[in-house]
Amino acid sequence: MPPPTNVAEFLDLLRRSQLVAETRLDAVLQRHRQNGTLPQQIDPLANLLIREGLLTYFQARQLKLGRYKRFTIAGKYKLLELIGVGGMGAVYLCEHVLMHRLVALKVLPLEKLTDPSHEERFYREARAVAALDHPNIVRAYDIDRYEQLHFLVMEYVDGTSLQEIVSRYVLEKRWFDPIRAAHYIAQAALGLQHGHELGMVHRDIKPGNLLLDRHGVIKVLDMGLARFFNKQQDCVTEKYDDKCVLGTADYLAPEQAVSNIVDIRADIYALGCTFYFLLTGQSPFPEGTVAAKLVAHQTRQPQPVESFRKDVPPDMLKVLRVMMAKNPADRFQQPIEVAEALAEWAQQRIDPPPASEMPVHCPLVRALATPPTTSSTPLARLLFNHFGRSVRAHSQQTTATVQLASTACSSSMVTLNPAKGVTDSSGREIGISLGLGSTTQTSIAPTLPINSPDPFIGIIPQQNMKFSPYCSSTCVMWLLLAAILALIIAAVIAAFFLGRLYTK
């Protein structure tokens, strides 16, 4: 349809889009009519509906362009905002209309379907992300197809990429804090370690693929270039990408520029280049063509960080140089080694990211991102309260990655220490050790397990607890039934033996 020319046409499009319930829209319009504050122009009216929490910025723009269809995908995902557009598709912020939670939808462009490699790589990305379950990796919830649209439903990260954050620092002529940089690179290394343990290489680590949320947690994004080594049948890369260099030239490992067969050490190099970007505000080789950058990664050393700034600890620069070694054998061999090497600085306390670094949402998205919390009785208490079972804290045998996520959500003061494990802001040790063991996240049950040295606590009531009358009478009844049954069995056995004696 053509764009609306007046308020009446705009409201007609809004009603036809079914983005807002009729009763709610009428109530808002009626209130502003009575107050004399209802705008008579399209732009002020759209801004009013955004402030009232009825529309998002993206929805208002689409309606002003005359577009009122396809705001809902597959009947359950309502489009809220356009997050970004990349080579492998557009990413939208959506609301799950049934569960009322925010998700990110990555949609494969229709023109990409003409090339079989794009569709197969898109579904390979879904399989790769679905195998991952780690607090430092963006999770995948679903993959679906609606008409001609192919899309991946992912966890929505309420935050900003390190690329955007550091770029603002560059514009403001400020340096990014090296301690914060060490924290974020260490977290990304833990996420990569999880993927490495599943036989996966990311192949496109860069600042734009590391998202920082409001709690200070780093999430590794965009597994579209990841590749399995332990699945021979997943050979899309070999079929279609045998002559292609997959990755970003500014952060590409030397060996990745000449071969598409790389291992996790290529990700460690790219993570080192990202570390360099955080410390200097530019990529290692910012000048020249793509070909010149690829050659530079193989033959040249980047400009020393010390020439940009003097406040980066020398030992931190040593870690950076090992990560960016030209020879893969000279680098850290696993991402967990990077986290261990940065533990000296990652154990220092930092604040959550300032609000100025985080995205600004419209009222509708803010309401969905921060739903009201209500207290409720824990499920375990409802199930076991009659037997005196108590709900206790989660066992401290949880792995490092789970504790990193849970602690970071409550406070950003999470510290990494290879000798002592992980400690929170109060100094309490979180029982893990950052060795070369698994970082795979353990599953957390909705009802927390009993953490007690006595295996009978929680089954037999403690002395200070009382049975309810119903529980006591039930036990007595079962004891009586058991006694009667025992007497009957004894009588049958006695009758059997007496009968045999009588026949003899």
User: Which residues are marked as active site?
Assistant: 204
DSSP, collapsed to helix, strand or coil, labels residue 74 as coil
**Spatial contact of 182 and 224, defined as CB atoms under 8 Å apart:** no
Q: Which two tokens stand for residue 397?
A: 């045998």
DSSP, collapsed to helix, strand or coil, labels residue 476 as helix
**Spatial contact of 368 and 101, defined as CB atoms under 8 Å apart:** yes
How far from 4 is each of 19, 22, 63, CA to CA, in Å?
Answer: 17, 20, 8
The helix or strand, by DSSP H or E, that contains position 179, with its residue range, turns out to be: helix 178-197
HSE-CB at 476 with a 13 A cutoff on CA atoms is 7
Exposed, middle or buried by CB within 10 Å (0-12, 13-18, 19+), for 224? buried
How far from 432 is each of 40, 139, 339, 375, 484, CA to CA, in Å?
Answer: 62, 23, 14, 31, 54
With b meaning 16 or more CB within 10 Å and e meaning fewer, what string describes 135-174?
bbbbebebbeeeeebbbbbbbbbbbbbbbebbeeeeeeee
DSSP, collapsed to helix, strand or coil, labels residue 372 as coil
Residues in the chain: 504
How many whole angstroms separate alpha carbon 149 and alpha carbon 145?
A: 6
Residue 73 phi/psi, 5-degree rounding, is -110, 130
Residue 290 burial (CB count, 10 A): 13
Choose among 244, 308, 310, 248: nearest CA to 273. Answer: 248
DSSP, collapsed to helix, strand or coil, labels residue 12 as helix
